[in-house]
């Protein structure tokens, strides 16, 4: 799939997934960050994040795409107890930081 087409599909999925996101100000929230083929989902609590993740998975399946749980990571900031996020019964790997490619 071309990168442009992938970004269009991801935007359609996210528009229909309806997340609470993370509050940035009284009127602004951020629910996701996209970079190349990477997508970061943001939410303020475990239950909302799991629900958002499930909705994203459901929407991608409806479009004929899959989420690879082996490539999926979960990182928590500002919490002593990281949530356990699951995809089809498999626990998503917890990481303390995300590695990015730089040029």
Does the structure show a pLDDT above 70 at 103?
no
Q: What pTM value is reported for the model?
A: 0.80
CA dist 9 to 15, 19, 32, 53, 100, Å?
10, 17, 14, 16, 22
Residues 76-89: tens digit of each pLDDT: 777 777 778 888 88
Spell out the domain ranges in the chain: 3-69
Residues 16-45: tens digit of each pLDDT: 887 888 889 999 988 888 877 778 888 888
Distance, CA of 4 to CA of 91 (rounded, Å): 30
């Amino acid at each position: 799939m071309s990168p442009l087409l992938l970004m269009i599909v991801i935007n359609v999925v996210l528009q229909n997934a309806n997340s609470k996101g993370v509050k940035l100000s009284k009127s602004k929230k951020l629910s996701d960050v996209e970079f190349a083929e990477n997508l970061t989902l943001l939410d303020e609590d475990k239950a909302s994040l799991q629900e958002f993740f499930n909705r994203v998975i459901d929407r991608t399946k409806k479009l004929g795409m899959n989420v690879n749980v082996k490539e999926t990571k979960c990182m928590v900031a500002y919490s002593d107890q990281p949530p356990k996020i699951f995809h089809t019964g498999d626990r998503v790997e917890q990481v303390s930081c995300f590695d990015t490619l730089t040029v």
